[in-house]
Structures are given as structure tokens and as C-alpha cells.
Structure 1
Amino acid sequence: MPNIRSLFATRLYHAPLGDIDTDELRASCYSIAEDDEAGQEWCEANEFPGYTSYASLTDLPWRFPIFQAVVDALDKHVAAFAEDLAFDLDGRDLVLEDIWINILPEGGIHTSHIHPHSVISGTTYVKMPEGASALKLEDPRSQMMMAAPPRKKDAREEMRGFIYVQPEPGDVLLWESWLRHEVPMNLSEEDRISVSFNYKWS
């Protein structure tokens, strides 16, 4: 009998964020988006659909206490994920590097990307109406497969080239920052709202 086993696992952490009022968080996201003229200008200049505070605001936890509560919850999830990943942090911590709002209207997308210079990245979900796009994760070996044939549609999850994760409001997803991911087109008539973040080794 052959000995076949999986190597070099790509881990995905999926859990409820915690005791966070998603209605208050959603209202705060809209309030910030309405007032953030620099962010609106950046989105328009870069043809970004909807709104993101990624390029304009660096102090969300200071502006709204609900965001500090989100960060406090995220710190615990990131610590648990780092333990699962068997990271040797050498007495240092993984600390929040940045956190930002994403509001994607109907037809909005986030194209495929990674988060360079970070260790753990993730998203917590604020509003996911029916028809809102899932998170699409790409096999990090894709560029090395060269002449490999495609995988069967019913391949085991760990063998697929792409994985789609459909979170619920109040969920948090974490992954290592080198993992390529995207948000396909939002097919809902309502906004898809999330808060994304990066943690660095400090």
C-alpha cells in the first residue's frame, strides 16, 4: 500500500468574532464613509467601486469605540491562530498594523492580491446580504503547477485550486498574509460590508 500524506498545509481560521454589536459596527462604517472625503477622493481617483478607508484613515479604533472593541477581539483570535500555526515569536507579539473598512456595492469587486510585509491578515464581516460574494482563496502553488491538468470538480477541498468561503455577519477569517485572495463581484443589490486588517511581528 502506498503512503500518501498532505504536506505544507495552508491554514484558514474561521470563528465568530465575539460579543460585537454588528448593527453599531455597520452604522459606524457608513458614518465614517460619509465623512471621509480623502477616502472618497482616493476611491474615485483609483476607480475603486464603493468605499474603502484603506488609503485614508489609520486611526479607526480612536475614532469609534466599537472599532477598539473589534481590535480587542481580533487580538485574541490572532494569538490563537499564531499558536495553531506553531509560530516561534521569540518573545515578541503579533500586533495590529492597520485596519480598514470596505463597502462594496452591487457590481463591486476586490481583485486578487496578497498583503506584503504582514504576517496574518483577515476580515471580519459586518453585512453579507443574500447574493453577496464569498471570499475566494487561491492555492499558493498555482504558479508552479505549469503543465498540470485541472482538478476534478469533486476534488477534496485540500486539492482544489480555489476555495470559496461564505462567512456570516459577525464572523472573522484569518490567513497568512502571503495567501492570494479576492472578492468576486457582489451580485446583491445591497452593500457588502467588511472590516479588513493586517498584523505584523513586532
Structure 2
Amino acid sequence: MTQIRSLFVTRLYQAPLSAHGKPIDPEELEATCLSIAEDDEAGQDWCEENSFPGYTSYASLTDLPWRMPIFKTLKKALDKHVKAFAKDLSFDLGDKKLKLEDLWINILPEGGIHTAHIHPHSVISGTTYVAMPSGTSAIKFEDPRLPMMMAAPGRTKDADEALRQFIYVAPEVGDVLLWESWLRHEVPMNMAEEDRVSVSFNYGWGN
């Protein structure tokens, strides 16, 4: 009997942030992100020096959960989401837990992009979405096998999602996405006039 199975599956977790932890007002979170961006001169300088579109706190602020109560609440919710995803992935964590390593703000203006990248040295990465104006970019994920496909033909437009080489996900405000940190992803150009605001993070293991 013929059998066709899916092997080496890449998992993507998507859920409302409010599914775990205390509810967080997206407007309050957005206002907090914009206020921090306005005051963070070191982050502004880094973005300018590195030709980074918009603003990110990645290279300047490492203590947002300590600095602002709303980020402390956010961390507690994310901890629960990551725990649920790790269970789905059947991770054998031993006597250690996955812990938040980095959490940073992203503000992507019209015309801004985040080029394709991975998050080395982390286990789970993700983003929660704070402001997603109409027409703004989805996040794009790349099949991790793509560099090894060599002579393989492309896929048809109606191919099953699990067989496509690129997947676009358009989350809503208040959603959280989680993926394993080796999964290459990018944010195509923001075509909306308003800023696209999100908070990204990495979780590590073994520390």
C-alpha cells in the first residue's frame, strides 16, 4: 500500500496574546512603545548609524520588563505561550526552563523592511503585534531546506501550505507568533502610511 508521510515538520505557533496571562490593552502598549522610542537616543543613534529603517530597541535597551510594568505583564504572558509551544515541540528540557533572553520594540515606517534573518543561539523566537495598519506587511517565512533543493522545480500556486517554499502570515493586533529560532524570516516593505509596531523576543535554554 502506498504511503506518503510528512517528515521533519516546521511548527508555527499563533494565538491571541490574551490566551495566557492578564489582558494587555494594545493601545496602552503601543503608546508605551512610541514613548520609549522617542526617548531612546541611544537606540535612535544605532538605527541611524546602521541605516535601520524606523526604530528598534534591540541594540539599546535590554531591561524592558524591569523598566515598564506593561512589559513585565507581557513577559509573564509570553512565558506561558512559550511553555505551551515547547510542549507541542516535545522538547526535552530536563530540569531547566526556556527563559527570556531578549525583548525589543520594532517600529517599521512606510517603506521600511526587515531583511531575511535567523536568531542564532536562541531556541524559540517570536513577535507579538501591537499596531498593524491596513495594507501593512505580513511576515514571510522561508522553507529551511531551500538552499539544498538545487535542481528541484518550483511549487504550483495552489500547493498545500506544508509544501510551499515561502509562507506569508498576516497576524492581527494582539496575536503572538512563535517559531524555532533557526527558521529564516523577514518583513517585506511596509506599504501602509502608518507605522507597523511589534515587540519581538528570544528564549534560550540551559542558562
Residue of structure 1 equivalent to 2:8: 8
Within the alignment, does 1:150 sit opposite 2:186 as a pair? no
The unaligned stretches of length 5 or more in structure 1 are: none
Question: CA separation in 2, counterparts of 1:148 and 1:55?
Answer: 39
1:63 Cα offset (Å):
1.4
Deviations 1:159-192 (Å, cap 9, x if unpaired)? 0000000000100000000000000000000000
Within the alignment, does 1:25 sit opposite 2:25 as a pair? no
State percent identity of aligned pairs: 75
Question: CA separation in 2, counterparts of 1:188 and 1:87?
Answer: 39
Select 2:82's aligned residue among 78, 83, 92.
Answer: 78
**Match of 1:31, as an amino acid?**
S
Within the alignment, does 1:123 sit opposite 2:127 as a pair? yes
Structure 1 residue runs of 4 or more that deviate by more than 4 Å after TM superposition: none
**Match of 1:14, as an amino acid?**
Q
1:16 Cα offset (Å):
0.4
Within the alignment, does 1:107 sit opposite 2:111 as a pair? yes
Within the alignment, does 1:171 sit opposite 2:178 as a pair? no
TM-score (norm 2): 0.97
Question: CA separation in 2, counterparts of 1:33 and 1:136?
Answer: 25
Question: How many equivalent pairs are there?
Answer: 202
